[in-house]
Amino acid sequence: MEQLENFRQEVKSWLDENCPASMRNGADPAIPTDEVWGGRKAQYKNPESKIWLDRMGQKGWTMPTVAKEYGGGGLSKEEVKILNEEMWMIGAKGPLLSFGIWMLAPVLLEYGTEEQKKEHLPKIIKGEIRWCQGYSEPGSGSDLASLATKAEDIGEHFLVNGQKVWTSYADKADWIFALVRTGPKEPKHDGISFLLIDMETQGVSTKPITLISGKSPFCETFFDDVKVTKANLIGELNAGWTIAKALLQHEREFISKFGLASAMGSGGKDIVSLAKKHLGEENGKISNGFYRSEITAHKIKEHAFGLTLKRAGDEGGKASPTASMFKLYGTEHNKMRHELMVAVTGINGVAWDGDEFDDDEKNLTKSWLRTKGNSLEGGTSEVQLNVISKRVLGLPS
Amino acid sequence: MKLILNEEQQFLKDTAKSFATEKTPVNHFRSLRDSNDHLLWDKEIWQEMVNLGWSGILIPEEFGGSNFGVAGISSIMQECGKTLTPSPLFATAVLGAFAITQFGSQAQKEELLPKIVSGEITTALAIDESSHHNPAKTEFSATSKDNDYVLSGKKIFVVDGSSADILIVLARTSGNSGEETGLTLFIVESDADGVDTIKLSMADSRNYANIIFNDVTVSSERILGSPESGGETVESILDIGRIAMSAEMLGNAEAAFELTLDYLKQRKQFGVLIGTFQALQHRAAEMFCELELTKSSVIAAMHGADENSNELQRLASLAKTISGETLHLVSNEAIQMHGGIGVTDEYDVGFYLKRARVAEQIFGSSKFHSERYANLTGF
Ligand SMILES: Cc1cc2nc3c(=O)[nH]c(=O)nc-3n(C[C@H](O)[C@H](O)[C@H](O)COP(=O)(O)OP(=O)(O)OC[C@H]3O[C@@H](n4cnc5c(N)ncnc54)[C@H](O)[C@@H]3O)c2cc1C
């Protein structure tokens, strides 16, 4: 107990000295904010974003539970809780958004060799290298295991040829974790390997995709005779599918948090206040009874969903097939939330451009459209239902 | 608040699970229903529950109880719900025990609590007066006369009302129907002069009664809690009841779902198991999600009750709404996925549907609680 109390004091004073003013409560609103993803190509509108990232990365506190030898914070669960509480107290911003942290690091810890962990984890944790995910291909979406991008054995190296699609931030990322076919004759699940590729290698190129919501961070990624050292193979040759699935569970867990209004992607607006603003308010109640009951039903589900995420944590939840439930429910709920926000905002909820509408309204339209991808990316809702029925409920194939 | 059971609560749940599967499988309910027994619960089974200490779970140790709390009794309710076990647990061990422990005078506690613990008496809570739960609309009157009150009016849909020894009755002592003030709770012996009990026959074949009070004289010493504050008192008793009932409904839904999954894994059509059909798989997976949300809501509400959370009312309404909706869905889907045998009396799955619809009405439907949740949250 006393040790933890000492730790709390340490954290407090460290944060006090090291968390820049613009990264905490009371920041000057005139200072521009950055979405910090790190990496070699990162640019910062506010130099303090970079300072904050470097300091937290140096401490290993972007992945506080990972061992110090891999660049992590080496903290216990209790200590992490204290760190989070103290950061919350001063309203400290999270220093880094990262596919590396959310998806790759957990599987490196589980499947990587000692050298691979020592090579890649510190750079993920410090935000030096930004990662993207090379799973989907034009012909292989839900049926991911049918993927065709091939990696031929040419001695010390693999020679990679093929195309990935939907690669989020491929144009901004430094490295890609990719699924490649190394066993063309094996049954489809048994011929896949998990390979790490530097995006600067000759033969890698990207092309952006425009979505219904407008410009997007998604790209097509092409591999033309790309040489990749065998040291970058994670796990055994042709055993990549197990790793791919493990990573997907981490991804799904992460995406599922979008279901909560407190998470990102809502334009920060609450449906209830939007409804009161646009539909009117009588005795503190949303005046339109039809919308009021729809919103209530939605909010009740949201409350129960939030409690379910909390319960999974309290049960000591590791990533498991039930991550599919969170992914499914979270994304469907998020879509519904945006549908309701658009509906209560009325005509202004479908604004696109120009000065007649305010930024919140135009952003709402875009984020509403963007949510339609939530139930596709990371495996569609139908695929999640398949996973639940087979792997959780044990229904026959 | 951690949304898991502690060791003690888990132990109670495990005990209840073995009890329900061994002593009161669904056939126990079936035979009571078919026996035309007027209690519709079994005295010996109840005595065994009492011997396990279940009647005293909400009662302090000084009166012979164990004080294991709402999470303890709700976990037992959930397990009993799985096998549709009928017993006075809800009306006596939850409602009566909580009401008297929480609001009774020292004399009332000393007199009644040990008898609840020992199984000597059972209790019932008489609230409703019309087809929809709405305590504020109480018209049932209690008029003061010397040191007594005279009760008159009709209470309906009283759970265990046809067997309870002690009735806790909500009456209007002032004001008008629709007002939450002016209400008072009374403790009345069911064999008092002027109490007329009419046994009800409901779809779920459980024990309910309508009770008519023809100028029943009750001493002011039998007021439960303080006079005129019955509105608040009764909401707090009802919330505990709603949470425990939600736990039972969760148990109902879990069992109906389990029964259905088993069937999907065993029934063949077109030469394959029907569980291979994606149309059914996806609906099963959707039910799984709803059940998970229900578990979380129920456990949050029961811990909220034990920790006296200031969110208690919202959590109770959340739990009753979600468990009602989930049980509604699952009980319907269970029938459909069973095909024709689902609508036969011989097969158990129909019992869950009938129980579901009655339980949904107890102390407020999902719609009632959605409205309450919205009002409490400021929507
Ligand atoms: C915004 C966005 C971001 C993405 N980001 C990435 C990324 O960073 N990296 C990456 O690798 N991929 C990414 N993806 C790709 C994503 O994983 C795929 O889009 C997804 O797996 C679906 O594949 P598909 O688009 O080929 O659709 P299809 O698989 O062709 O599906 C079409 C329809 O058929 C249904 N369907 C398919 N199979 C079944 C089945 N067995 N049972 C029932 N229904 C079925 C689907 O549910 C869907 O409704 C992203 C996608 C989007 C939209």
A336 Cα–ligand 1 center, Å? 19
Distance CA B59, CA B68 (A): 8
| % of chain B exceeding 90 in pLDDT | 97
Whether residue B138 contacts residue B211, with contact meaning beta carbons closer than 8 Å, is answered with no
Residue B56 has pLDDT above 50, yes or no: yes
Closest residue by Cα to atom 35, ligand 1, is A382
Q: Do the Cβ atoms of A385 and B281 come within 8 Å?
A: yes
**Residue B96: enclosing H or E segment and its boundaries?**
none
A152 Cα–ligand 1 center, Å? 27
Taking the domain A2-96, which CATH number applies? Answer: 1.10.540
Helix intervals (H) in A23-67: 47-59
Query: In the CATH hierarchy, which top-level class contains the domain A130-238?
Result: mainly beta
Distance CA B20, CA B307 (A): 28
Which of the residues B289, B312, B328 would you substitute to probe the A interface, choosing the one with the greatest number of A C-beta atoms within 10 Å?
A: B289
Distance CA B140, CA A386 (A): 54
Closest-CA distance of chain B to residue A392, Å: 9
The average pLDDT across B101-109 equals 97
> Which pLDDT score, from 0 to 100, does residue A344 have?
96
User: If we measure between CA atoms, which residue out of B240, B242, B126, B241 comes closest to residue B184?
Assistant: B126
Taken in order A166, A169, A170, A174, the sign of the CA dihedral is negative
- Tell me which chain A residue has its CA closest to the CA of residue B278: A386
| Phi, psi values for residue A53, rounded to 5° | -60, -50
> Which pLDDT score, from 0 to 100, does residue A254 have?
76
Chain B interface includes A311 (CB < 8 A): yes
**Structure token pair of residue A52:** 């904050």
Beta bridge partners of B241: none
CATH of B7-121, one of 3.40.630.30, 1.10.1040.10, 1.10.3720.10, 1.10.540.10: 1.10.540.10
Contacts of B378 in chain A (CB under 8 A): 272, 284
Chain A interface includes B321 (CB < 8 A): yes
Q: Do the Cβ atoms of B265 and A397 come within 8 Å?
A: no
Closest residue by Cα to atom 37, ligand 1, is A142
- Give me the residues of chain A with pLDDT under 70, please: 256-269, 317-319
Closest-CA distance of chain A to residue B14, Å: 18
Select the residue of B2, B284, B377 nearest A393 (Cβ to Cβ).
Answer: B284
Whether residue B186 contacts residue B124, with contact meaning beta carbons closer than 8 Å, is answered with no
> Interface pTM (ipTM) of the complex?
0.94
CB atoms within 10 A of CB A255: 23
Select the residue of A311, A389, A392 nearest B299 (Cβ to Cβ).
Answer: A311
pLDDT tens, position by position, B187-202: 999 999 999 999 999 9
Superfamily covering domain B235-377: Butyryl-CoA Dehydrogenase, subunit A, domain 3 (1.20.140.10)
Q: Which residues of chain A does CATH 1.10.540 include? A: 2-96
Superfamily covering domain A245-392: Butyryl-CoA Dehydrogenase, subunit A, domain 3 (1.20.140.10)
> Which pLDDT score, from 0 to 100, does residue A380 have?
95
Closest residue by Cα to atom 3, ligand 1, is A377
**Structure token pair of residue A113:** 């060799």
Closest-CA distance of chain A to residue B300, Å: 7
CB atoms within 10 A of CB A187: 8
Q: Do the Cβ atoms of A307 and B3 come within 8 Å?
A: yes
B285 Cα–ligand 1 center, Å? 19
Q: Whats the size of chain B, residue-wise?
A: 379
Distance CA A199, CA A223 (A): 10
The average pLDDT across B194-223 equals 97
Chain A interface includes B376 (CB < 8 A): no
User: If we measure between CA atoms, which residue out of B315, B352, B2, B362 comes closest to residue A300?
Assistant: B315
**Residue B371: enclosing H or E segment and its boundaries?**
helix B366-377
Q: Would you put residue A208 in left (φ > 0), alpha (ψ -120 to 50) or beta?
A: beta
Contacts of A328 in chain B (CB under 8 A): 285, 289
Contacts of B371 in chain A (CB under 8 A): 296
- Tell me which chain A residue has its CA closest to the CA of residue B317: A300
Q: Do the Cβ atoms of A307 and B373 come within 8 Å?
A: no
DSSP string, A203-219: TEEEEEEEETTEEEEEE
> Which pLDDT score, from 0 to 100, does residue A319 have?
61
- Tell me which chain A residue has its CA closest to the CA of residue B293: A304
Closest residue by Cα to atom 4, ligand 1, is A377
DSSP string, A199-267: TTSTTEEEEEEEETTEEEEEEEEEEEEEEEEGGGEESSTTBHHHHHHHHHHHHHHHHHGGGSTTSSSST
Q: Do the Cβ atoms of A325 and B289 come within 8 Å?
A: yes
Distance CA A190, CA B31 (A): 55
Select the residue of A304, A388, A397 nearest B322 (Cβ to Cβ).
Answer: A304
Higher model confidence: residue B32 or residue A269?
A: B32
Q: How far is CA A262 from CA A236, A258, A268, B312, in A?
A: 40, 8, 8, 22
Beta bridge partners of A196: A177
Whether residue A341 contacts residue B34, with contact meaning beta carbons closer than 8 Å, is answered with no
Chain A interface includes B377 (CB < 8 A): yes
Q: Which atom of ligand 1 is nearest to the CA of A164?
A: 11
Contacts of B353 (CB under 8 A, 6+ apart): B331, B332, B334, B335
Q: Would you put residue A324 in left (φ > 0), alpha (ψ -120 to 50) or beta?
A: alpha
In chain B, where the domains are located: 7-121, 125-230, 235-377
Chain A interface includes B268 (CB < 8 A): no
Select the residue of A308, A314, A397 nearest B293 (Cβ to Cβ).
Answer: A308
Distance CA A200, CA A117 (A): 21
Closest residue by Cα to atom 24, ligand 1, is A141
**Structure token pair of residue A18:** 């090291």
- Tell me which chain B residue has its CA closest to the CA of residue A281: B379
> Which pLDDT score, from 0 to 100, does residue B17 have?
98
- Tell me which chain A residue has its CA closest to the CA of residue B277: A397
β-pairing verdict for A214-229 and A233-234: unpaired
Chain B interface includes A157 (CB < 8 A): no
Distance CA B344, CA B362 (A): 26
pLDDT tens, position by position, A142-191: 999 999 999 999 999 999 999 999 999 999 999 999 999 999 999 999 99
CATH fold of the domain at B125-230? Butyryl-CoA Dehydrogenase, subunit A; domain 2 (2.40.110)
Distance CA A390, CA A214 (A): 37
The average pLDDT across B350-355 equals 98
Q: Which residues of B5-42 are buried (b: 16+ CB within 10 A; e: fewer)?
A: beeebeebbebbbebbeeebebebbbebbeeeeebbbb
Orientation of helix B43-51 relative to helix B7-23, angle to 10° = 160
Q: Do the Cβ atoms of B293 and A301 come within 8 Å?
A: yes
Residue type, B100: I
